[in-house]
Amino acid sequence: MSREPEPPSGATEVGVPASSRVVEIEDLAFGYGEAKQPALDGLTLSIEHGEFACVLGPSGCGKSTLLGILSGLYAPQRGRVAVDGTLVYEGGRRMAREAPPMGYVFQDPRLLPWRRVRQNVELALRAAGVPQAEWERRVSRYLDMCGIGPFAESWPGNLSGGQRQRVAIARALAIEPTLVLMDEPFSTLDEVTARFLRRELLDVWERTGQTIIFVTHSIREAVFLADHVYVMTAGPGKLLERRTIEIPRPRVYEDPRLTEIEAGMVEWVLRHWGFYENAEREEGG
């Protein structure tokens, strides 16, 4: 029997007490139409209240599909999903008419160009059923918190990519959701802007105490941001391992401990995602 690779330095496996869970997923499965293999098959994981969770995996492992199921965009074919004590799916069937509120930040900010920044946030508040008397306070609070308050009356087309993504984050937070789902929100930005916004996001998260599930394929991004990194298999998607990042906050990119964890994790996932097997197969002809 082959020996499994050792976990990278700085990471541990920790169980989650049931009383603190905000997300519980058991044996989740989902497939797209005529695809030869499912996007998710047997995914089981749980996430704590107030946690910054990063879901890490290569393209095609079902990371975005997982967010789509949590948000209600897709219904699983199998499995159980509970959010903040509400059973949302059981055996592939929708159980709750309404799930707890969730904010969603995509790779693209998805702002309406014919609506000003303030109005884009107000549309989310309207859709979430927030009383109109609350709108002004919430819009101002979360735009200011995300450092975009001075641009409340601007048109999205007059903002930079990083500024538009700040608006998207403020829009997701303004509904004061149980969960904030983020699907590689900084992947289209240059690295300098992305690093700055990651620090800003952590500051906002610490101030709000909200639970964030952040999807990424970047190991350095996951290690810098997360309390726990949920490493997915290469596909079909299931949980390979849950890693705890024990570097104290606030963190800095130049911390050699982060570099050490990243290096060990890269080596570990290369083996588990099958890259070494593919390389050996190509070398062997």
Q: Distances in Å between the alpha carbon of 217 and those of 4, 129, 141, 283?
A: 22, 34, 31, 26
Residue corresponding to tokens 């007490």: 17
11-100+178-283: CATH topology is Rossmann fold (3.40.50)
> Which among 52, 46, 70, 63 is positioned nearest to 235, based on CA atoms?
63
> What average pLDDT does range 142-166 have in this prediction?
97
- Taking 60 as the threshold, does the pLDDT of residue 284 lie above it? no
Which segment of 3-12, 30-39, 101-110, 185-194 scores lowest on mean pLDDT?
A: 3-12
- Taking 50 as the threshold, does the pLDDT of residue 15 lie above it? no
Residue 33 CB contacts under 8 Å (≥ 6 apart), including other chains: none
Question: What pLDDT is attached to residue 29?
Answer: 95
Q: What is the band of 277 on the pLDDT scale with cuts at 50, 70, 90?
A: low
> What average pLDDT does range 145-149 have in this prediction?
96
Question: What pLDDT is attached to residue 278?
Answer: 54
- As a whole number of angstroms, the distance between CA 27 and CA 9 comes to 29
Q: What is the band of 273 on the pLDDT scale with cuts at 50, 70, 90?
A: confident
Other C-beta atoms within 10 Å of 222: how many?
Answer: 26
Q: Which residue has the higher pLDDT, 144 or 236?
A: 144
Q: How deeply is 2 buried, as exposed, middle or buried, from its count of CB atoms within 10 A (0-12, 13-18, 19+)?
A: exposed
Q: Where in the chain is the domain with CATH 3.40.50.300?
A: 11-100+178-283
Structure confidence by residue, pLDDT tens digits, 43-61: 999 999 999 999 999 988 9
Phi and psi of 253, rounded to 5°? -60, -30
Cβ 189 vs Cβ 157: under 8 Å: no
Q: How deeply is 185 buried, as exposed, middle or buried, from its count of CB atoms within 10 A (0-12, 13-18, 19+)?
A: buried
Per cent of the chain over pLDDT 90 is 79
Indicate the average pLDDT of the chain: 89
Residues 191-200: contacts with CB under 8 Å, at least 24 apart: 193/160, 193/161, 193/162, 194/221, 195/253, 196/162, 197/162, 197/165, 197/166, 198/224, 198/225, 199/250, 200/146, 200/147, 200/166
- Taking 80 as the threshold, does the pLDDT of residue 275 lie above it? no
Name beta bridge partners: 211: 179
Residue 246 C-alpha from the chain's centroid: 19
Phi and psi of 239, rounded to 5°? -75, 125
- Taking 90 as the threshold, does the pLDDT of residue 18 lie above it? no
Amino acid at 7: P
Q: Supply 280's token pair.
A: 């050996």
Buried b (16+ CB within 10 A) or exposed e, 145-163: bbbbbebbeeebeebeebb
Cβ 264 vs Cβ 91: under 8 Å: no
- Taking 80 as the threshold, does the pLDDT of residue 281 lie above it? no
For residue 178, give the DSSP letter. S
Residue 17 CB contacts under 8 Å (≥ 6 apart), including other chains: none
